C-alpha cells in the first residue's frame, strides 16, 4: 500500500450543514491530484448529526475516518487529537466551513521541504480575501496580532488563519506540548514551534472567504485569547514546555 502523503484534519462542532460541501470540495480537488490522502474529521462533542453526516461521506471519500468526542472541549482540543492521530508525511488542518479551500494547499506545498511549518495568511500583500470580515472583527484581529508579534511570535502576521501545514514529525512534537483547548491554540503551537523547537515557519498568502455563520464571538473570544496569550508567554518564560518535552 502506498504511504499517505497528506493527512487533512477537520475539527467540527455542529457542522452537519456545512461539512458535506467542504468534503465534496476536497473530493473534487483530489480527482486532479496525485496525492495520497487521509481525512480525519474530529467531532468536538457536536449536538447535531455531524458524526452521522461525516460517516455517510465515506462512500465518496473512503479514506475518511471520524474521531468523535462526547464532550465539547474546544477547537484546540479537536485539532490536537487529530494531529496526533495522523499517519501522513505531511499534516494539514483546515476549517469545516471551507474558509480557505483545500486547493490552496498547492500554494503551501512548495515550501514544506525547507520549513517545518507553512501557514496560510490573510494579511500579506498577495493574500486574496474574497469575502471580508466585518470591520470591527478586522480591527480586533489586527490589534491582537500586533500584541502577539510583540510578546509571543516573531515575524508572523496572521497566526489565526485556520489553514496550517506541518511536517508530520514536527507536528507530533509540537502538538504533544499544546495545552490550549480554545481558539488561542494557533498561537500556542506556533510559539512552541518557534521558541521550543526552533522550527522555521513560512507564511504564505492564500484565498479566504469569511463565513456568514462564523462561530467566533468577537468580544468573548478575543478576551479569552488574550488570556491564553499571557498564559502561553508565562509557560515559555517559566520553561514549562521544555520540562514537558523531556
pLDDT confidence of residue 136: 52
Confidence label for 141 from pLDDT (cuts 50, 70 and 90): low
Task: Give me the sign of the Cα torsion angle 100, 138, 16, 12.
Answer: positive
In the predicted structure, residue 120 carries a pLDDT above the cut 90: yes
| Grid cell of 63 as nine digits | 479514506
49 conformational bin, left if phi > 0, alpha if psi -120 to 50, beta if neither:
alpha
223 against 167, higher pLDDT: 167
Q: How large is the average pLDDT for residues 39-44?
A: 98
Q: Which of 12-16, 17-21, 131-135 has the lowest mean pLDDT?
A: 131-135
- What would the pLDDT profile of 155-173 be if each residue is shown by its tens digit? 998 998 999 999 999 999 9
The number of C-alpha atoms within 13 Å of 151 and in the hemisphere containing its C-beta is: 20
State mean pLDDT over 73-99: 97
Q: Residue 164 contacts by C-beta under 8 Å, 6 or more apart in sequence?
A: 92, 93, 117, 118, 119, 120, 186, 189
Band of the pLDDT at 219, cuts 50, 70, 90? Answer: low
Q: In the chain, pLDDT over 90 holds for what percent of residues?
A: 73
Would you call 129 helix, strand, or coil by DSSP?
A: strand
Local structure of 195: helix, strand or coil: helix
Mean of the per-residue pLDDT values of the chain: 90
Which position has the higher pLDDT, 213 or 236?
A: 236
Is residue 77 a contact partner of residue 183, using CB atoms and an 8 Å limit? Answer: no
CA atoms within 13 A on the CB side of 203: 17
pLDDT of residue 10: 98
Sign, CA torsion 176/177/183/188 = negative
Q: What is the pLDDT of residue 72?
A: 96
- Give all domains of the chain, ordered by start, each with its CATH number: 6-244 (3.90.550.10)
pLDDT tier for residue 117 given thresholds of 50, 70 and 90 = very high
For the cut 80, the answer to whether the pLDDT of residue 213 exceeds it is: no
Residue 135 clears pLDDT 60, i.e. is over it: no
Classify 176 in phi/psi space as left (phi over 0), alpha (psi -120 to 50) or beta. alpha
Amino acid at each position: 500500500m502506498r504511504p499517505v502523503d497528506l493527512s487533512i484534519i477537520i475539527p467540527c462542532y455542529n457542522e452537519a450543514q456545512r461539512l458535506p460541501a467542504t468534503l465534496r470540495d476536497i473530493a473534487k480537488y483530489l480527482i486532479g491530484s496525485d496525492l495520497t490522502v487521509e481525512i480525519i474529521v474530529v467531532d468536538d462533542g457536536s449536538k447535531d448529526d455531524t458524526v452521522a453526516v461525516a460517516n455517510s461521506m465515506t462512500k465518496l471519500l473512503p479514506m475518511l475516518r471520524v474521531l468523535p468526542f462526547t464532550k465539547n472541549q474546544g477547537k484546540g482540543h479537536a485539532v490536537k487529537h487529530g494531529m496526533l492521530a495522523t499517519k501522513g508525511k505531511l499534516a494539514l488542518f483546515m476549517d469545516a466551513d471551507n474558509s480557505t479551500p483545500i486547493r490552496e494547499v498547492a500554494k503551501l506545498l512548495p515550501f514544506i521541504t525547507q520549513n517545518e511549518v507553512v501557514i496560510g495568511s490573510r494579511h500579506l500583500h498577495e493574500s486574496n480575501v474574497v469575502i471580508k470580515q466585518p470591520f470591527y472583527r478586522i480591527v480586533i484581529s489586527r490589534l491582537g496580532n500586533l500584541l502577539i508579534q510583540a510578546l509571543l511570535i516573531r515575524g508572523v502576521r496572521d497566526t489565526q488563519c485556520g489553514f496550517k501545514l506541518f511536517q508530520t514529525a514536527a507536528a507530533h512534537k509540537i502538538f504533544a506540548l499544546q495545552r490550549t483547548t480554545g481558539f488561542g491554540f494557533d498561537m500556542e503551537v506556533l510559539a512552541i514551534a518557534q521558541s521550543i523547537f526552533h522550527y522555521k515557519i513560512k507564511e504564505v498568502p492564500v484565498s479566504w472567504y469569511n463565513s456568514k455563520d462564523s462561530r467566533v464571538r468577537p468580544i468573548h473570544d478575543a478576551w479569552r485569547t488574550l488570556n491564553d496569550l499571557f498564559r502561553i508567554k508565562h509557560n515559555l518564560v517559566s520553561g514549562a514546555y521544555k520540562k514537558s518535552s523531556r
